[in-house]
Amino acid sequence: MADPDSRAGMAYITPEILEFVQKIHAPHDVHLQRAFDAPAAEGMPAIQVGPSEGKLLGLLLQISGARKVVELGTLAGYSAIWMARHLPPDGHLWTVEENPKHADVAQANLAAAGLTERVTVVEGEALAVLKVLERHGPFDAVFVDADKTSYDAYGRWAAKHLRPGGLLLADNAFCFKGLMGDTPEAAAVRRLHQETAAAFDSVCIPTPDGLLLGVKRGP
């Protein structure tokens, strides 16, 4: 039976329910499984999005007709595979990663998944790389999942370089439960929320750690 707690933010999700729905709606083939397992297997932090978030990212790109997409924070390429698979044949994903080992592992996982043509892994610091990527814009979607201290700057870049109707997506919008805290990360993510609401039609989807979604107002 439903109760008022769900409107107050309580979640009905349990590990067992999450696993059940993920297996049905967001199953892994060998390529997604390889990219999902890679961080733990390669001694990298296992901080990729969950399967349901990966599928959600893909479907949001699909329903918005996204063709040119930027991702900040590649890790092992798990979210990149989800997103790239939901682009049209002439679509392209540029995914930015500053850690050379992460970039190499991602490149190998994307190659195994047959996505080298559709995805460019750009090795470098996000703010520096974004300056170079500008010439490929305007973009249809930007997925922010790198260091939280620059989330506000990433959002400003997206507001400038997305087309009207383009999507801003940001993982960890609850900042690991610390969004209201007194840290530079939390302050930057709070600014992202505020500035996104000003320039986009927006909502924070209550995934386990929050997925910010903004649709750029235009023109």
Which residues contact ligand DHB (rule: CB under 6 A)?
47, 145, 171-172
Give dist(CA 45, CA 144) in Å, integer: 17
Give dist(CA 206, CA 110) in Å, integer: 29
Q: How far is the CB of 59 from ligand SAH (least distance, A)?
A: 15
As given in the structure block, the two tokens for residue 138 are 């305007």
Stretch that binds ligand SAH, among 42-50, 130-138, 177-185, 208-216 (CB under 6 A): 42-50
Residue 97 binding ligand SAH, by CB under 6 A: yes
For residue 96, the partner it binds in ligand DHB, Mg ion, ligand SAH, none, with Cβ less than 5 to 8 A by kind, is: ligand SAH
164: CB partners within 8 A, 6+ apart: 216, 217, 218, 219
Q: Which is nearer to ligand SAH, 29 or 125 (CB)?
A: 125
Q: Which is nearer to Mg ion, 97 or 171 (CB)?
A: 171
In this chain, which of 26, 32, 38, 49 binds ligand SAH, going by CB under 6 A? 49
Q: Which is nearer to ligand SAH, 169 or 179 (CB)?
A: 169
Please, how many CA atoms are within 13 Å of residue 30, restricted to the half-sphere of its CB?
4
* E strand or H helix at 108: helix 100-112
Strands (E) located in the chain? 68-72, 92-97, 119-123, 139-144, 162-171, 200-205, 211-216
Give dist(CA 83, CA 55) in Å, integer: 8
Count of residues interacting with ligand SAH (CB under 6 A): 17
Site residues for ligand SAH, window 67-96 (CB under 6 A)?
73, 75, 78-79, 96
Residue 145 binding ligand SAH, by CB under 6 A: yes
Cβ-closest position to ligand DHB: 47
Q: What are the φ and ψ backbone dihedral angles of 114, each rounded to 5 degrees?
A: 75, 30
Residue 152 binding ligand SAH, by CB under 6 A: no
Could you list the residues that contact ligand SAH (CB under 6 A)? 47-49, 73, 75, 78-79, 96-99, 102, 125-126, 145-147
